[in-house]
Amino acid sequence: MTNPSAPFVSAADGDPAEDDDLMRQLGLAERGVSLFKAEGRVLLRLSGEVEYGHRRVAYDLVPAQGVLAKSSKWRKMDADTRAALLRERASEEVADALHGYVRDFVQELADACDDCDMDAEPFLHALSDMQVAEPAGMVFDRIRQRLEHAVERDMEEQHAERTRQSINLAEYPASFEVARRMKRKFIAVLGPTNSGKTHLAIEALAKAPSGVYLAPLRLLALENYERLQEMSPHGQPLKVSLVTGEERRLTPGATHVASTVEMLDTQTPLDVAVIDEIQMLADRDRGAAWTAAVCGAPARIVYLVGAPEARRAIEVLAARLECELEVHLLKRKGPLSVEPTAVRKLSNLRRGDAVICFSRREVLMWRDMVTEMGLSVATVYGNLSPEVRRAQAQRFREGAADVVVGTDAIAMGLNMPIARVVMTTTVKYNGYEEEEIPAALARQIAGRAGRFGVHEEGLVAGYDNETHNVMRSLLREKPVPLKATGFAVAPTLEHLHRISSVTHEHALAKLLKRFVHNIDVPDGFFYPRITEDQFERAAWLDTLALTVAEKFALSLVPISSKVPSLQNAWETWAKSLAHKKVTELKRNERPLHYMNLQEVEDACRLYSAYAWLAYRQPEYFPDTELAQRLSREASERVDAILQEQNTAARKRQPRKFRR
């Protein structure tokens, strides 16, 4: 499309009469030929009509050789030169060829519109658009493109409507058939850290004939698996199984299961279920797992354990699910106080302190600084496997370590006799930007101080004055209740297959996008969510010859895309599955003993991710047991390295500085 064509102006003297006379002398005007100027060029048009069904379609088009000259060149031509050019470019043969070209195109367009059940008329108007200064072929291509876009828009609307009709999130709870048929009762046990809420729920679980404990972390699942094994409420030890994404410890005849929340078995009826850290309903990336657990836990009694700010959310969920609700509010068993002043100096740290940072790099830096003061340190951060975190925590519990230095990983799932929490900062990277930690997280971290039965009170301090004052303010803030609507729902494979069946789409990225944008959310009580990581992985997986089920499983593998070696391993696994090749796990060519801490941590995470995938695709990833064994070996090596580094740092200090 160009600017509106200007009326033709005679090149010689600005009078169009000369060219009008020339056109009449050549008999071109009577044949539907006209001249016009556009974009500094002189062009000719050929007009006519072709039949389309029972209608006639007018056209006014520039033929393939319809650009005669630049305006400046046309002005310099004499009448004979112009006449010769017009005879050549506007001959009967040229007109007949264009007429046939238009007739064929109109028929092509009419057939295409019939196939799509669309009206061709709006598209054909462009054939007589006087503003167009493009050759006919380009006009035809533009019309084809417009039709293609119109078809895509129409198809998009149809697919969106079919998706809306196929999935209604208002009916989400009904998708959990076993839970829906049961008469369930919710018991909310809510309180701050160190209020004994988890202990109360686990006691009730152990007394029940059957049950499941659902944890936010593998570490918590492992700890309570062992805790339940040691309990014998009816005179006989409980038979307990452990089920996480990366590990299965199945006990024959087990009556109880300790599991991560994503691994909930919704098909086996039980007496009691305990859903821990229920405030995770509001978590941006994992909240959907808690929504599913609350809606789908197939137990007569479901304990919802967590922070008091989850109360309103629990109440509306219980009402929506038509479940009886009983609420118990617990108080902290010992006081929690903010120290009068900041710590300020490393020499003011003392045994029983927990020094909190928000990155692995900061943890290791502070660990080195603390050990150089002569204190022994246990180290805890997110990259560490559950086994290493537990071993490090055990060193602190048993007094082998004076201080624990860690991230907010200590805030969930690690019970340690911490006397005082010392915050090195209150700023944390949230995955997008650096921001001040929310008051809820500050309370949860601080609440780890003052273990009941070990310390009379818990103490909290900032290392520097600013951090100290911010923590004081955060702990004074009134807790903000969780939102009581918009509970996250993640797509299941069944959801994606349902969308695929009505849209005939097989690209995972498109299916996930439809799930988020097109399914029916009548009242917004439940709301579709996917993570950004999953969507980015889906786009890459769509380039491979994989089924929707295979791509969906691969998109959920718990492995970091930010670590090149782990990302490369994941891509290799995906490509192997696409070629239906068996991927055997190979021990790293370099012995663990020669790797640095980061390399061993990454090896541990790689083995765990392989085990996760092996449980879901055992035919192509057969080395489950080897993956678990190598993961354990790597975990033991990480723990050994941490202890070696701790010992080496202390030995560097003169004896007079050691405590």
Residue 14 clears pLDDT 70, i.e. is over it? no
d(CA 383, CA 8): 75
Count of CB atoms situated within 10 Å of the CB of 478: 7
Residue 355 clears pLDDT 50, i.e. is over it? yes
d(CA 551, CA 367): 41
pLDDT of 229: 96
pLDDT of 656: 38
**Residue 233 pLDDT class (50, 70, 90 cuts):** confident
DSSP state of 521: -
Mean pLDDT (the chain) is 90
| 532-556 confidence digits (pLDDT tens) | 999 999 999 999 999 999 999 999 9
Question: Contact, 194 vs 458, CB < 8 A?
Answer: yes
| 295-325 confidence digits (pLDDT tens) | 999 999 999 999 999 999 999 999 999 999 9
The helix or strand, by DSSP H or E, that contains position 429, with its residue range, turns out to be strand 427-429
pLDDT of 655: 44
Q: Which token pair is 500?
A: 């695929």
pLDDT of 10: 39
Which of the given ranges, 31-35, 61-65, 132-136, 336-340, has the highest pLDDT on average? 336-340
* Helical H segments across 405-455, by residue range: 439-446
What is the rounded average pLDDT of the residues 234-255? Answer: 94
**Residue 5 pLDDT class (50, 70, 90 cuts):** very low
CA 107 to chain centre: 47
d(CA 146, CA 377): 68
CA distances for 366 relative to 461, 470, 596, angstroms = 16, 20, 19
Ordered by start, the domain boundaries in the chain are: 19-163, 172-329, 336-483, 510-645
**Residue 3 pLDDT class (50, 70, 90 cuts):** very low
| 455-489 confidence digits (pLDDT tens) | 788 999 999 999 999 999 999 999 999 999 999 99
* Sequence-separated (6 or more) residues with CB below 8 Å from residue 177: none
In this chain, the answer to whether the domains covering 172-329 and 336-483 adopt an identical fold is yes
What is the rounded average pLDDT of the residues 524-538? Answer: 95
Query: Strand pairing partners for 57?
Result: 50
| 206-229 confidence digits (pLDDT tens) | 999 999 999 999 999 999 999 999
**Residue 16 pLDDT class (50, 70, 90 cuts):** low
DSSP state of 522: S
d(CA 563, CA 105): 54
* Closest CA relative to residue 256, chosen from 202, 218, 306, 187: 202
What is the rounded average pLDDT of the residues 53-61? Answer: 87
The helix or strand, by DSSP H or E, that contains position 177, with its residue range, turns out to be helix 177-181
Give me the sign of the Cα torsion angle 42, 46, 47, 52. Answer: negative
What is the rounded average pLDDT of the residues 59-75? Answer: 89
Residue 437 clears pLDDT 90, i.e. is over it? yes
Q: What percent of the chain has pLDDT over 90?
A: 70
d(CA 547, CA 549): 5
Q: Which CATH superfamily is domain 172-329 in?
A: P-loop containing nucleotide triphosphate hydrolases (3.40.50.300)
Architecture field, domain 336-483: 3-Layer(aba) Sandwich (3.40)
Count of CB atoms situated within 10 Å of the CB of 319: 10
What is the rounded average pLDDT of the residues 131-160? Answer: 88
Full-prediction pTM beyond 0.85? no
d(CA 180, CA 603): 42
Residue 510 clears pLDDT 70, i.e. is over it? yes
pLDDT of 74: 87
What is the rounded average pLDDT of the residues 177-187? Answer: 97
Count of CB atoms situated within 10 Å of the CB of 170: 14
Question: Contact, 214 vs 264, CB < 8 A?
Answer: yes
First to last CA, the chain: 83
pLDDT of 653: 59
Q: Which token pair is 38?
A: 């556009």
